[in-house]
Every structure is written in structure tokens, then in C-alpha cells.
Structure 1
């Protein structure tokens, strides 16, 4: 079985700019009886452009092209064989857009997953496992996500038609419920079973991108208790809590959304792997403070802002890192008193528009954990030992039908692009689509770091050998075209005028 993740520089981009919305009729059946399609009695009367776009993207890559439009067309047969465990890793980060925007500018649409599942099933020849799995953001309501996405209808279809089980997993160990005051109190953490197979703690030791960090005591994860994050990342130990379902997979299919990202610039395949980690506090996101004191949380603060934010940090460390009912009350009262005094004394301290939480181009933390997770996906064996050769096969389908721009990844503006992209290497697909977004990928630290890797390389080929196939000829030369700004995505506030083409 071909395993060419490190050297395959082929990318397909299928564009249909007339498609500016998703196909919503679950279980997202195709609208044509394609020769290779297995459920000829399940055809939509409405035109399903999403299914046909995925199919056309596979055709662009010349996969099993000699059998195209024949009953035995099997485009994924060089990646997937009968009996394989195939894990589909979408981007299911949230169940709602917190500013009332389009949720499909945030998460992977299930109509794309349905088409992928159909071609995976063809390659498996009915023998093997298909698991759709992700660890969404901690405050995502997964039951509500299942309701709005209707993704379980795909599972039901396969069970009823061919008695084939498709599993859908929420890989998180902990779910957060933010209280009505806007912070996590002693009742906010709901512990879950997470991955049915459990987790492996994978230690990259000195091979981690954090091995060159100087301020381990400043890193911040996803919860108020920074001690847990600091415990997993030291000069000699850099640990991640990785899903055993993912590690036991023969094939990973990444299905990210094209989005801008406030901490990483862009999020595509590389950043999508945050969702293979079950405990968010293993993931450093920024270092507290400003650059002048060794942090990357804020670009800068004036003296009044420092008093507010640094005092709040001390209160969080003292009261919310290990909360109880008394500490909850003290912190809530402190917030109320601050707002009351500020209003009564008419103190003018601008905090609302401060760029915080590492949401800017100077973030020197997030890219490190992103590169680390990609090393693990490629090289970690089933029990968490790092090997010298890739351990599983990989393919990516990227959802750019409706992309997210602006303050992504959680509150982006919708950007209809009508694009499905496909490829075999996460780095190659990501630099291609980053440039398509109108962003100079060479200015992003994660791409710079991947180019310099000696151990656990993610791409082993020359960028000049990347081949892009598209129905839009303008895109086929995009990596060599430095004069076109292409789709010109609007960037997050902390990244503007820093990384554009």
C-alpha cells in the first residue's frame, strides 16, 4: 500500500463560484446516479453541487482515472484498502456562531463528509471501520452540534442500507459550561468519557518545538489552572494527550474549513489537528504578558491596562485555577466592584479593544504545538512511541464552499468561495490554500519551522515540485505567481498589514 505523505506534492482545487450555500437535505444524497454510487435508490431531487464538487476534485487528481465513470471507479484505492480503520477528522469546533453569524463559516459541513464517506466505503469494499471524530472547543455543546449538523443521518443511512456501522466521537475529556458572569466557576467543568479507546500521552521530549522556549512558567493552555499545562511542557518533557482512536487508524482523512485564525493566522490541515488531543490543557496557546517581559499574550499595554490585566491574572491564578464556591463568589464580586468603581469614579481605561489572549502575529506559542501535533500524527505508533517512518496514510479534503474570514476561527465573517480542495500532504495543501487566501505563507512561523525540520519531517520534497490541478487555470500557477492577491481574505485585527501578499 502506497504511503507517500512526505513526498506527494499533488493538490486539487475544484471551484464552482456559483455555489454559495450548502446542500441541506440530510443525509445529503447525490442528485445523480453516478456509476460508482452504491445507493441507487437514494437520490436527491434537488441539485447537490457539494457532492459533485468532491467528486470532481478527486477526478482532478487523476485517481483511478482509467475507471472514471465506470461502476468500479475507486479513487481512494491507493490510500485505503479493505479492512482499514479510517478516521475522518473534520473541524467541529463549535455548535453556534457567538455573534449570530453563519455557523457554516466555522465548521465543516456534513454534506462534504457524506461524499467522502461514500468513497471511503467503496475503497473499503464494505470491510473495515469509518469513524468521524474530533475534540471541539471545550464550550461546544456536542448534542446541539449533532442536532444542527444532522450528521447522524449518514450513520443511520449506512446502518439501514448495508448494515455498516459508522461511529461519531466527541474526543474531549472535559466540556466547559461558562456561567452567566462569563467565566468558569467550580460547576463549569463536565467530565466526559471521551474517546472510547482512551488516550496515549505522547512525549516529544527535546524533539518538540517547545524545546527552544525560554519561558515555560508563562505558558497558558485552555483553562485557568496553568500549572497543568506547565507540568506537561518543560525543557525535557513535552507531552500531548492523543486519542487512541486516531493513533490506531490506518488512514486519517482531514476535512478542515478554510478560515483565518487569530492565534495562528490561518487554520487548515495543520491547525485542524488540535482536535486529536483530548485534554485541552496539554496545548499551550500563548505566554502571559507582553513581549517586553517575555510574553506574547498582548502586543503592548499602557500602564493603566497593565494594572487591570495583570491584577485580573493574579486573581484568576489565586481564585479560579482551583475553584470552589467561596472563590467563585470572591472573583465574581471583584469583577462587579471593578466595574462599579470604574463607573462611579469615571475612570477611563480602554480594555475592550485591547488585542489579548495571543490573538496577534507575534504569538510565538500556538505554532509550536501545531507543528508538534503534526509530527505526532505522522510518526507516533499506536502506543505513543515516535518512530522514524510515517505510521499512517493521509488525505485531505478542505471545505472552502463557505469559508471564514476576519476574526476567525470562532467568530468569522462568511466568505463564499465555492471551493473544495484535496491533497496528500497537510503542509503542501496548507501553503497552497494560504496563498489562495491572499496570504504570504512564508511569513507564518509554522511554515517556517516545518521547512527547517530535521527530525520528524512533515514534507520531504521541493516546493517547486508541487503540482496543482484545478478547473481554474489561474490557480494552477498560484505558488509561482507573486503578483496576484487571489481571494484576498480579510485578516483578524492582530494580523492585518503583516502577512498579506
Structure 2
């Protein structure tokens, strides 16, 4: 694991080659770029990992030779989830694996192949992803063109069968459906982590924005199937190149979760289970008739989208919004399994990792491992807060590599600042059985140029980073800034008024009620007259701002565009000695 104060990537215009003519480099001096520390860090990570130590420093150095043999088919699997970040200020550098890392890996794969073999780069993005836009804007199109001009046998592939687009009113519509073109159905059945859960639970499994009827074609109580990319099954070796981020459903995403992208049909991927945690589901926390009705409306919406019935889709969307709004007013904070109570996605992740190692080229499950894996993760700029689709950049300056995906992900989780024991998909028992050995029980040692991490077991590492989890996971994994907020309120020992009755204020209210129920929230303030007198959360109403005593704490939860205006009002209404400010990034400003 290599860490430097480098928080930018070389562009396609700069070129992706090394800035030093290394003795093992396959191409000539004209390919050397002005500056490419990303390439240097990938190389240094191989050195630290001890790959081909005896030949290091010579033209014969072949660090990936222990994984890749001449004549083999190599799949490089980056994270290419979507062509845009739902966080408009986040950019795609914290969203997808950067091609500059992929270029460095390609060079060392070519050394190992010795002129014989095939390289495929591929992923199955979200159904709405504009793949051509993504590979063009991110630099992958340039990357492929660069190597093809050198006569390299390399391809870039979109593994998806189904593609959609957003129509009016934010509704998905089918754009392309090449069913069975790209994938082979692999049956796990009794080897699946969903096996035997019961018909009612299996019938309630869902994946967001897909027709639920298709899920039932892949999963019943006793049969569990996935449609896996032919490119994955044909591969002898996979270089898994995740973009570590926080994840709304899984807690974090790294190498294990990156295998979601080996599927050609995402309709077969259970991500959550309809119903509350008290009723055998995991979509949300509390038993709620409004949430049940919202589930029904969402199913109708996805079915009508698939059938391209615009009017019925719009009606279903309106019904969903109505029921979901009421449920939030009742105090429900979670939906679609985007929280720490999700008991579905870890099973899907474990199933896919089993298939990854044990399915043969025809998609038949075997008792022996069928392909090798090596991991190279892009954390130069990672993603935190509302990942995986709306992340905020986190400048980590890290490139990490490894061969054991479970311990690799545990290490990443620890370095993010989270307790990996709280992440269900990182439970070793999910990957170890008599017929499936994906990891081992032995704790791994981190090897790094960072002396605070080097030669330490992951549980010995103390100086971790400070990633902020998604809102759905912060009650379990912790949010340092909100914990400071709670402590500040408790120190003042007074009831709370939340200034801001919009989404930020409501979310903060629900967080405080779940984590610190002893804090008394007496009302919301808001400058929007249409909200005055309305119940925002359960019995808590919104009021027109008015003068207060010094015995009330004001917590401001508004967007930055309102900050100056609210600041003046706080002074006007007598909060100057007793207020805490929580801005749009959940940073505490006192």
C-alpha cells in the first residue's frame, strides 16, 4: 500500500506512460511522460508487495508473472459505474477507477504475457450509464486507442444486456435489451446464501429500478441463478481494480463489491428485501402501512417502466412520492435497504465471489478454483459520504494492491476509519466453507511506505483516515462531526430548535432521535410560510422564526446559499450564545 500527497491524475493529453524509463519498460523513450506519479505508485506497490523480488531492478522484472502466464486471457475489471456523479460538485474522479492506473497495470500485464494472450477491460455499469460518454470523458477511449495502435490485442467491453434512459419526470425507459447476448446463467442453488430463506422472503427481494418480475426468474426458495458475463467466465486471470467508496447498502465498496459488475443482467442481483426489519425485510426500519404502500407503488413503477407505459408510470411515481412522504413524516429514515440493517446485499456479494472463483468457462460450478485474481485499488481520490453514486471526493493519495479480497477489503475499511466487523460483507464465514475457500482465517499484515501502517496487523493500526459514512450507516459506523454536535448540545443541556425544515433538517432530526433520544427537539423554524404550522416529523411542527431565550439550542441545517441570511436571523432572535451550526456537508461550525 503506497501513500503519497498526490491527489490528481494525469490526463490523456499528458499521456499515461511512466515519467521514468524503468529498466523493465516495454516501450521506448519517446513514450516517457513529463510527470506521472500514479504510474510510479502502482510500480512501487508491486515492489512493496514483494512481487518477483529477485529480478527487481533489471529488464527481466515481471511483477505480475506469478499471476499472469503467456497466452492467457486477462480481464481487467475497473469500476465504471456511471458517467456522472449524482453529487454535482463531486466529479467522476471519486466515482470511477481512473484509466491512468489501468494503463500502468496493462504495461505489467503485457510484460507477463510476453507477446501472447488477450487483454479485455470491462464492467457492467448501471443500466442508465451512457457508456460511450463515460469512456470518452474519462479517458478510456484514448487508452484503448493508444494500445491498439501498438498492435496490442486489447478490447474494452460493456457487459450489460439491458440499457435504459431517463425520460420525462425522471422515469426510466428501456433503450436496449440484448438478453443472453453477453452472459451465461450460472446456477448456485443450494450453494447460495439465499438458499432456504423461504418463499415470502425470496419473493420480496428487489433491485432498484428493475422489473421485480424478472428477479423471480432467477431466484426461488430452492433455485438461485445469476447471469454472468462471458468475458469473466472466459478469463484465466482477473485484475480487480475497484474504486473504494462508502456504499449506501453495503457500508463500503472495494474489491468484493466490485464483482457486482461481472453480471450482464442486474435484474438477477438482490440488493434489498421489501418490508421492515421487524417483518423479515430490510428495506426500512419501522413497521409502516405507508411504507408498504410505497413498496407496492415502486413495484408498479418499475413494471410500467419496463412496459413503457408512460401515464401509468407517472401515476405510480406520484403514488410512491405521496406514501413515502407520509412515512418520512411518521419518522422513517431509511428506504430500499440503504442503511446498516441491510441483510440482502452481503449475500449477493458472497454468491458472486463464489461464482468468480469456482464457475468454469461454461458457467458450471466446480470444486476447484478456475481463475486467479490480483487487486489494484484506486484511492488517489476515493469517495465518501453518499457513495457509491453520489460520493464526495476524499483525497486519500493511496494505491493499494493485494491477493486476498476479504482481508484486502477489511484493510481498506479499517483505513477509512470504520470497524470492519460491523460490515456484513466482510464476515470471513461468508467466504470460507468446505467447498469454498476464498480467504483464510489468518490476519493479514499491511506493507506500506507509511510507517504508521507498515508491518502492522490491521487491528494494530490507529492513525486511520476520517471517511464519513452514508447517512444510512452513520448510526452504526459513526459520524465524528455529528457526534461532536450531539456532545455540544448535551453540554448546553437545553432543548433544541432545528432551523431548516427541509430535507437536511428532517434528516438531522431523525438522526438525533435515533442516536440521542434524550435530546428534546421542540420545533422546527423555517422561512417558508407554507411550512408554518405543519407537522414535519411526528409531533414536531414548523414555526415562523421568533425571538428565543438563551435556554434554547438552535441547530441550523440548511444549504450554504442560505447561510448568511440565517446567521443574521440567529443574532436577531437571540441565539448568539447558544447555537450550533450544521452545514450542507454535516461539518460542525460553532
TM-score (norm: length of structure 2) = 0.76
**CA deviations over 1:189-209 (Å, ceiling 9, x no partner):** 12255897x321111111101
Contact between 1:169 and 1:195, CA under 8 Å: does it hold in 2? no
Q: Distance in 1 between matches of 2:169 and 2:330?
A: 17
Please tell me whether residue 314 in structure 1 is matched to residue 296 in structure 2. Answer: yes
Contact between 1:138 and 1:174, CA under 8 Å: does it hold in 2? yes
Contact between 1:195 and 1:243, CA under 8 Å: does it hold in 2? no
Q: Distance in 1 between matches of 2:354 and 2:131?
A: 28
- 1:257 maps to which of 243, 250, 253: 243
Please tell me whether residue 431 in structure 1 is matched to residue 410 in structure 2. Answer: yes
Q: Distance in 2 between matches of 1:152 and 1:461?
A: 38
- 2:80 corresponds in structure 1 to 92
Q: Which entry has the higher C-alpha Rg, 1 or 2?
A: 2
Q: Distance in 2 between matches of 1:331 and 1:462?
A: 49
Q: Distance in 1 between matches of 2:354 and 2:318?
A: 45
- 2:140 corresponds in structure 1 to 151
Summarize the alignment of residues 363-378 of structure 1 with structure 2, pairs less than 5 Å apart.
363-378=342-357
Please tell me whether residue 406 in structure 1 is matched to residue 385 in structure 2. Answer: yes
- 2:189 corresponds in structure 1 to 205
- 2:577 corresponds in structure 1 to none
After TM superposition, give the deviation of residue 458 of structure 1 in Å: 3.9
Summarize the alignment of residues 270-349 of structure 1 with structure 2, pairs less than 5 Å apart.
270-300=256-286, 306-307=289-290, 309-318=291-300, 320-323=302-305, 327-333=309-315, 335=317
Q: Distance in 1 between matches of 2:167 and 2:285?
A: 29
SS of match in other structure, 2:395: strand
**CA deviations over 1:368-392 (Å, ceiling 9, x no partner):** 0000000000111111111111101
Highest relative contact order (Cα 8 Å, sep 6+), 1 or 2? Answer: 1
Contact between 1:399 and 1:420, CA under 8 Å: does it hold in 2? yes
After TM superposition, give the deviation of residue 225 of structure 1 in Å: 2.0
Contact between 2:205 and 2:274, CA under 8 Å: does it hold in 1? yes
Give me the CA root mean square deviation: 2.6
For structure 2, list consecutive stretches of 5 or more residues without a partner in the other structure: 480-590
Q: Distance in 1 between matches of 2:137 and 2:376?
A: 22
Summarize the alignment of residues 53-452 of structure 1 with structure 2, pairs less than 5 Å apart.
53-100=41-88, 101-161=90-150, 163-184=151-172, 188-193=173-178, 198-214=182-198, 215-300=201-286, 306-307=289-290, 309-318=291-300, 320-323=302-305, 327-333=309-315, 335=317, 350=329, 354-448=333-427, 450=429
Q: Which moved more, 1:376-385 or 1:42-51?
A: 42-51
Q: Distance in 2 between matches of 1:127 and 1:419?
A: 32
- 2:553 corresponds in structure 1 to none
Contact between 2:117 and 2:153, CA under 8 Å: does it hold in 1? no
Contact between 2:160 and 2:265, CA under 8 Å: does it hold in 1? yes
Q: Distance in 2 between matches of 1:351 and 1:33?
A: 64
Distance 1:154 1:319, change over 3 A: closer
- 1:453 corresponds in structure 2 to 432
After TM superposition, give the deviation of residue 450 of structure 1 in Å: 3.4
Contact between 1:320 and 1:328, CA under 8 Å: does it hold in 2? no
Q: Distance in 2 between matches of 1:53 and 1:94?
A: 26
Distance 1:351 1:131, change over 3 A: farther
